[in-house]
Chain A
Amino acid sequence: MCLLAHCSLLGRWPRALIGYARVKPFMDVPAIRTEGLTRRFGELIAVEDVNLEVAPGQFFGFLGPNGAGKSTTIKMLTGLLAPTSGKMQILGLDFEQNPVDVKRQIGVVPEGMALFGRLTGAEYLNFVGRMYGLDRETAAKRAGELLEFMQLGDQPRKLVTDYSHGMQKKLALAAAVIHGPKILFLDEPFEGVDAIAAGTLKSMLQRMIARGATIFLTSHVLEIVERLCSHVAIIHKGRLVAQGSLEELRAGVEAQAASGNGDHLAPGSKLTLEEIFLHTVGGVRGAEQELSWLG
């Protein structure tokens, strides 16, 4: 049934995504693996001794409070930032030794989206495709399909700088997948995106997972992470404090609560990701504080 459903949808899907159907995940090596990953900025240790392991085909959520080190980690994993120490392997390849080979296999939507504002959407996608080594015809064809799929094709002369935030996010995601990457890194892909655009993005990401890609995303929207991700890691003050499937994390928090550490949990209730997150990072919600000048 599931296979049939996929087949019936193939006609509507950009070729860049259909390509995943042919991707055989490297089941023997992790998609992402870090060992003792550390990054210092002067005296400040932004990320310390992070050991991550993401299996191929996982939808992996990387969570943490503001300033915890999420963006620093994703920047290191995508080559935007050099680690101070530690190792990173992407699909079994050492990033520092094989940066170009690694970059060919990954797609990235960084924090700032990395767009070129004074190109049109079509020009931008075409450009990105060719930078990833696609031939001219393939780049143009995929650019057209992606514009259509993302519903960005109706204003061909509009420059990217004039796109709304949601449109820019969709374009950035389209650019990240145009070459058919095996791993997709997304830094806050749903930030500032309306419900319609978020729906398009989510369905696209789920299809990619179904076709064997690995997705590594950071997000503050825990409901979305809970719905999409099969595995989660939580970073706090630069250190990895939890990692595993949602069920494993839930079980861990419940075990902690049962042993008397942390808050008491309501019996019989299933912990949400937000509750797991708050338990793990020790956050407190809604401190009652008066601001004298506010009415």
Chain B
Amino acid sequence: MAGMSGLQARAQLQAIAQVRWEIFLHSLRTTKGTLELFSRILITAVMTAGGLGGAFGLGAGAWYFVSQGEPEFLAALLWPVFMFWQFFPVMATAFNETLDTSNLLRFPLNYRSYVLVRLVYGALDPATLLGSLWLTGVAIGVGIAQPRLFLWTVVVLAIFGLFNILLTQMVFAWVERWLAQRRTREIFAVIFFLFMISFQLIGPLMSRFRPRSASSMVRVSGEVNTVQRLLPPGLSAHSIASRANGRWGASLLSLAFVAGYGAVILRVLSVRLRAQYRGENLSEVTKDAFAKSGDNGVRVGWNVRGVSGPIMAVFEKEFHYLSRSGPMLLTFVTPIIMLVVFGFGQGRPGGGFLQRSPDLGFPIGAAYTLLLLTNLIYNNFGADGGGIQFFLVSPARFRQIVLGKNLTHIAVLVLEMAVVWIGVSLLFRRPSLAVTMATIAGMLFAAPLNLAVGNLMSLYSPKRIEFGTFGRQRASQLTVLISFGVQLVVFAFGATVFGLAKYYSDIWIAAGLFVILAAISITAYGLILGRVDALAQQRREVLSSELCKA
């Protein structure tokens, strides 16, 4: 019987793989599908090149540490890999894909097969690709330095890699659960608020610890080292180092601990997966969904003087959508997390990057905020799904709809920039007026350019996304490629302008140049907005068929 179910499970997994392959082949029938494939190959090639570069660097580092008889220092390589593996999926959701397995539930798939499908297909993301490449680099570096260590290193790093895959999926599965409902979202909002308030404490705390004697630095380093050795990256490095020193017992014990961490993570992940396997629906329905004393939930819509009804209606609708989207809320807090991550470097000798160049804190934070918004900007209608048909049959002009959406994006951008400005002020130092104005002028150039191209891509390459879950979030690969190109252009202009300003030692030059560039990009935005109605008419069938897909 067990053999029978094993055979059935294998057949099911084969069937899933075959279906995905057939879907892929069918997608090539259209020009869009072929362009998607081309974009995907290009993106994968760029990532692989970056990954190979990283693998080479990490391999060289691993070779150096092991050949110098300091294999414990491998931890210094494994920690960055671990951090990247865990943070990249959150910080670059556009590149991330989580398989939506809810469709599989109607088939007689046993729980074990379900978990396997989730883990295997869920692991097909860039973070895993790059992380695996880098770990391979480390293993090769260790193997060249000490060939007899190679096999053990492979085993240790494979378990470490598996731990990373499980942890990423566990974090996403639970965060999705917490952000899916209003009540838990509110708790999340309160935590975020407290986090913001705590900024005021982080700054003084860092200042307090900044001036340190050499002896106290050594003591703190020792404490940090003790703690890191108890965590998977440190334990993995320790396992390899112990094996290098001939301490088999310690080596096995460290590896067992890494595996133990993995088992615990799998157990916690399993709670979510079991709920999903049972057909859990993360709905918003709560006890207070029912009306209290005749309240039917109708409120008079928002109004801003001078803004037309349809534009304001779209703005209000977008606001409701964003406020109910867990993944989007998470995206909005990441610039702050990033600032804190940079801020933590301050205690080190020589200071963190932003401590050395605090003036760059606000421009970098603002640019990163815009980068995170590309997911929204370049796929305007993705979350509307079947609602696109309403836009197509309604008498509102498409330029009004697009403008309403863009106003929401601008409002979010302004709000985020204000938060970043406050964060930079509290963590580093208050940005000067010139830097603030230059950054705002830079945004006046970059945002309309992104919005203009984003509006075009939203019409030319729409892709349905689900705001409520972390699955199905990946944007069209063509869109990712084009948005990447636009960011390169923005970055090139930004670097040139700031370079000129630095050369002449006057940041106001940057502000002035950005204003000129802004005038050009705002004009381009206006021209494209004027063409949106005609384009939407031309593209209505593609919009409808792509976004109404089940």
**Same complex:** yes
In the complex, chain A residues whose CB is within 8 Å of the CB of B299: 122, 126, 140
Q: Are B313 and A122 in contact (CB under 8 A)?
A: no
Query: Any chain A CB within 8 A of the CB of B33?
Result: no
Q: Are B289 and A80 in contact (CB under 8 A)?
A: no
**Contact A133/B286 with A104-B395, A140-B298 known, Cβ cut-off 8 Å:** no
Q: How far is the CA of A139 from the CA of B321 in the complex (A)?
A: 20
Rounded to whole Å, the gap between the CB of B294 and the closest CB of chain A is: 8
Q: How far is the CA of A147 from the CA of B295 in the complex (A)?
A: 11
In the complex, chain B residues whose CB is within 8 Å of the CB of A104: 395
Enumerate B204-253 residues with CB–CB distance to A below 8 Å: none
In the complex, chain B residues whose CB is within 8 Å of the CB of A127: 301, 313, 316-317
For A104, give the chain B residue with the smallest CB separation: B395
Q: Are A136 and B301 in contact (CB under 8 A)?
A: yes
In the complex, chain A residues whose CB is within 8 Å of the CB of B300: 136-137, 140
In the complex, chain A residues whose CB is within 8 Å of the CB of B544: 80-81
Query: Any chain A CB within 8 A of the CB of B291?
Result: yes
In the complex, chain B residues whose CB is within 8 Å of the CB of A156: 289, 291, 295-298
Query: Any chain B CB within 8 A of the CB of A117?
Result: yes
Q: Are B320 and A162 in contact (CB under 8 A)?
A: no
Taking a contact as CB atoms closer than 8 A, the residue among A115, A120, A122 that contacts B387 in the complex is A115
**Contact A123/B317 with A130-B310, A130-B312 known, Cβ cut-off 8 Å:** yes
Q: How far is the CA of A144 from the CA of B297 in the complex (A)?
A: 8
Q: Are A116 and B303 in contact (CB under 8 A)?
A: no
Taking a contact as CB atoms closer than 8 A, the residue among A110, A120, A143 that contacts B393 in the complex is A110
Query: Any chain B CB within 8 A of the CB of A121?
Result: yes
Q: How far is the CA of A140 from the CA of B299 in the complex (A)?
A: 6
Query: Any chain B CB within 8 A of the CB of A288?
Result: no
Q: How far is the CA of A167 from the CA of B250 in the complex (A)?
A: 63
Q: How far is the CA of A125 from the CA of B394 in the complex (A)?
A: 13
Rounded to whole Å, the gap between the CB of A183 and the closest CB of chain B is: 12
For B397, give the chain A residue with the smallest CB separation: A100
Rounded to whole Å, the gap between the CB of B45 and the closest CB of chain A is: 33
Query: Any chain B CB within 8 A of the CB of A85?
Result: no
Query: Any chain A CB within 8 A of the CB of B410?
Result: no
Q: Are B393 and A79 in contact (CB under 8 A)?
A: yes
Query: Any chain B CB within 8 A of the CB of A161?
Result: yes
For A153, give the chain B residue with the smallest CB separation: B296
Q: How far is the CA of A204 from the CA of B1 in the complex (A)?
A: 57
Query: Any chain B CB within 8 A of the CB of A108?
Result: yes
**Contact A155/B289 with A112-B389, A132-B394 known, Cβ cut-off 8 Å:** yes
**Contact A82/B540 with A115-B387, A147-B296, A148-B296 known, Cβ cut-off 8 Å:** yes
**Contact A157/B301 with A114-B389, A127-B316 known, Cβ cut-off 8 Å:** no
Which of B317, B537, B541 has the most A CB atoms < 10 Å from its CB?
A: B317
In the complex, chain B residues whose CB is within 8 Å of the CB of A162: 281, 283-285
Q: How far is the CA of A122 from the CA of B298 in the complex (A)?
A: 5
Q: Are A118 and B295 in contact (CB under 8 A)?
A: no
Which of B289, B298, B395, B544 has the most A CB atoms < 10 Å from its CB?
A: B298
Query: Any chain A CB within 8 A of the CB of B22?
Result: no
Rounded to whole Å, the gap between the CB of B291 and the closest CB of chain A is: 5
Taking a contact as CB atoms closer than 8 A, the residue among A103, A110, A139 that contacts B395 in the complex is A103
Which of A115, A116, A120, A128 has the most B CB atoms < 10 Å from its CB?
A: A116
Q: Are A123 and B320 in contact (CB under 8 A)?
A: yes
Q: Are B286 and A157 in contact (CB under 8 A)?
A: yes
In the complex, chain B residues whose CB is within 8 Å of the CB of A136: 300-301, 303, 309
Q: Are B310 and A133 in contact (CB under 8 A)?
A: yes
Query: Any chain B CB within 8 A of the CB of A119?
Result: yes
For B540, give the chain A residue with the smallest CB separation: A80
Q: Are A130 and B325 in contact (CB under 8 A)?
A: no
**Contact A80/B392 with A115-B386, A123-B317, A130-B309 known, Cβ cut-off 8 Å:** yes
Q: Are A118 and B325 in contact (CB under 8 A)?
A: yes
Query: Any chain A CB within 8 A of the CB of B385?
Result: yes
Rounded to whole Å, the gap between the CB of B5 and the closest CB of chain A is: 21
Q: Are A118 and B301 in contact (CB under 8 A)?
A: no
For B312, give the chain A residue with the smallest CB separation: A130
Taking a contact as CB atoms closer than 8 A, the residue among B286, B298, B303 that contacts A126 in the complex is B298
Query: Any chain A CB within 8 A of the CB of B324?
Result: yes
Rounded to whole Å, the gap between the CB of A210 and the closest CB of chain B is: 25
Rounded to whole Å, the gap between the CB of B324 and the closest CB of chain A is: 5
For A154, give the chain B residue with the smallest CB separation: B291
In the complex, chain B residues whose CB is within 8 Å of the CB of A115: 386-387, 390
Over the window 458-498 of chain B, the binary record of Cβ atoms lying under 8 Å from chain A Cβ atoms (1 yes, 0 no) is 00000000011000000000000000000000000000000
For A143, give the chain B residue with the smallest CB separation: B298
Query: Any chain A CB within 8 A of the CB of B175?
Result: no
In the complex, chain B residues whose CB is within 8 Å of the CB of A125: 298
Query: Any chain B CB within 8 A of the CB of A205?
Result: no
Known interface pairs A81-B544, A132-B395, A147-B298; 12 further A-B residue pairs with C-beta atoms within 8 A, sorted by A's residue number? A80-B541, A106-B393, A113-B386, A114-B387, A114-B393, A115-B387, A122-B299, A128-B394, A131-B314, A136-B301, A155-B290, A157-B288
A-B residue pairs, 5 tightest by C-beta = A156-B297, A153-B296, A130-B313, A114-B389, A122-B297
5 contacts between A and B (CB under 8 A): A116-B390, A120-B297, A123-B320, A126-B301, A127-B301
